[in-house]
Structures are given as structure tokens and as C-alpha cells.
Structure 1
């Protein structure tokens, strides 16, 4: 495949992931505010970090001139933190409302 086409597809798929990740983060945040659940707050923050990882990885490479691998390392580090927070929100210390269910 042509490099230009691959670059366009990479940018397009990244944009779709950013939009969908942003929507999921927003919906989880609204749910957390609605019911006051600490678990949902952590879940929203985890999805926010996963989405932010993608934005930061590409951003530092394109805008700040970091190397491609430096951007990938930043992206994967922030994404790993986000997934860790997601796991913690699902299996960590449950609030009393969730513990009773």
C-alpha cells in the first residue's frame, strides 16, 4: 500500500477512536455524577486516560517533534495507566452500594 494512503488511514482511525473514546468517557462521567458512584468516577477517568494516551502519543510526535518511538512509548504508558484504572474500578474497592448488589 502507498505510504500516503496508510498515513491517511492511520489519522482517520485515530480520529474515530478519539471521538468514540471521548463519547464513552463523557457518558461514564455523566453516569458517575448522576449516581455519585466512586466506581463510575474511576471508570470514567480510566477511559479518559486511554483516550488521552492516543491524543498525547500522536501529539508529541507531530507537534513537539518527538521521535515516533517516543510518542508510542508515551501513548502506551498513559494507555496502560488508563487500563489499570479501569481494572481497578471494576475489581477494586467497591462502594457500599455495589457491594450489596
Structure 2
């Protein structure tokens, strides 16, 4: 099971980097255009990325052996973030 941890850390790191880049680019596009849809898109991806960051930190540093809490937090923030992203697709 110890060989799984570095793989999970690598994927979480890639998630944070790519999510951060998407959030940055969407924010930059919002500032350029002033579009509320792009603002919501940036917020949604920011929430999803923050959820991955918090869950990864809890899993690695704070919760020894109990991954259920980290998974629940990540799932909740992912759901909220995707809800905001979905809203951004319908915003004018």
C-alpha cells in the first residue's frame, strides 16, 4: 500500500497545478471581458482546486489513518465547485 501514496501525491499535485492554471486563466479572461459567466467559471474551478488542496493536506498531514473525512470534504467542495461551473455555462 505504501507504493500508492507517492502516486496519489503526484496526481494531487498535477490536479492543483492544472486547477490553479485554469482558475488563473479564467480569472484573467474575466478581468479582460467583465463577463459574469467567466467570473463564475473561475470561482467554480477555484473551489474544486481548493477542495483538492484541503483534502490532500488533511490526508497527508492531519488525519492519520482516517481518509473518510478528507474524502468527504473533497467530495463536498467538488460538488459545490461543479455546481458553480454548471451555473457559469448558463449565465449570460
Q: Same fold (TM over 0.5)?
A: yes
| Whole-Å separation in 1 of the counterparts to 2:36 and 2:61 | 35
The count of residues paired between Structure 1 and Structure 2 equals 91
In structure 1, the gaps of 5 or more residues are 95-101
| Whole-Å separation in 2 of the counterparts to 1:49 and 1:14 | 15
Task: Give the 5 Å matches for 1:74-85.
Answer: 74-85=73-84
- Which residue is 2:54 aligned to? 56
Aligned-residue Cα RMSD (Å) equals 1.3
Task: Give the 5 Å matches for 1:28-39.
Answer: 28-39=26-37
Q: Which runs of 4+ in 1 moved over 3 A?
A: none
In structure 2, the gaps of 5 or more residues are none
- Give the structure with higher Rg (CA): 1
TM-score, reference length from structure 1: 0.84
Q: Deviations over 1:24-70 (max 9, x none)?
A: 10000000001111110000000111111111112123333272101
